[in-house]
Amino acid sequence: MRVALTIAGSDSSGGAGIQADLKTFQALGVFGMSAVTAVTVQNTQKVYDIQEMRPEIVHDQIACLFDDIPIHAVKIGMVASIPLIEAIADALGTIERLPPVILDPVMVSKSGYALLEPDAQAALVRYLFPLARVVTPNLPEAEALLGKKIADVDAMKAAAREISALGAKMVVVKGGHLEQGSATDVLFDGEGFRLLERCRIDTGNTHGTGCTFSSAIAAHMAKSETFFDAVAKAKDYVTGAIEHAFSLGKGCGPIHHFFDLYRRAGVDVG
């Protein structure tokens, strides 16, 4: 059994965060474990509040899992503060053979709530980028990391190269926020580029898309997929999950992590 660990915050609405990560791992045939960094108060409309875990608790969750169970990939999501970032880096830095780490640099929720403290961005780059095999910023996150506007695919390529120079070995700049054309992601493995294009899906129900994408990459890398193959398969999975998203709640509904399993079981996937 292949195993993946998510280090991220809890989403009380079940659509993003560790809940989305664990659903993704399960849907893709990987056993999922979690180290909780924070508990959020949120629903489909917005994030209302966050309560962080104590850094030593986050550190010890990670350490005790590595001490007991072989882990084949790690996904890092919301880490809001410098003490949490340092605790995660300390825990992972002691692992002799660290598996692939996929870092999703979560900064702001869809509703505009800051999920990364302003002074923590530099710490994220300093401590976690060097540990990451893959970093997966969306356009606003890439713009925040580099301090400049990214308006098209050529600029995304330049951004991927610059983010790689910050310490990440491989980079996926997600293009879902581009307002023109298809949903295009730029992949950079440190040497060359590849573009992933999928038709843009007309839906307002996209809660958890970023978390799901990065955890799907982690799941496929846990199964020893190459970088480009893992990202392509993750993109296909997320696209299907968005196509069958749920209209739940009064805001941005969640995507359907088990659409393929439901379909195989003969259950209506919407």
Find, among 169, 84, 184, the residue nearest to 139 by Cα: 184
Asked if 252 is an active-site residue, the reply is no
Q: Which of 32, 211, 235, 239 is catalytic?
A: 211
- Our answer to whether residue 235 is catalytic in this structure is no
Question: Angle 55-68/82-93 helices, nearest 10 degrees?
Answer: 20
User: Does the active-site annotation cover 226?
Assistant: no
249 is catalytic: no
Q: Which of 51, 128, 129 is nearest to 91 (CA)?
A: 128
- Nearest Cα to Cα of residue 62 among 21, 97, 91, 30: 91
174 is a catalytic site residue: yes
Closest by CA to 238, choosing from 214, 221, 220, is 214
Question: Token pair 């169970």 is at which residue?
Answer: 69
Query: Of the listed 184, 208, 239, 252, which one is catalytic?
Result: 208
Q: Which of 17, 174, 176, 253 is catalytic?
A: 174
Closest-CA residue to 176 (of 154, 197, 145): 197
How many CB atoms neighbour CB 119 within 10 A? 9
Asked if residue 6 lies in contact with residue 77, where contact means CB atoms within 8 angstroms, the answer is: yes
- Out of 24, 136, 209, 239, the active site residue is 209
> Are 119 and 107 within 8 A, CB to CB?
no
Whether 206 is catalytic: yes
Query: Which residue in this structure is represented by tokens 């590849």?
Result: 194
Which are the catalytic amino acids? Answer: 174, 206, 208-211
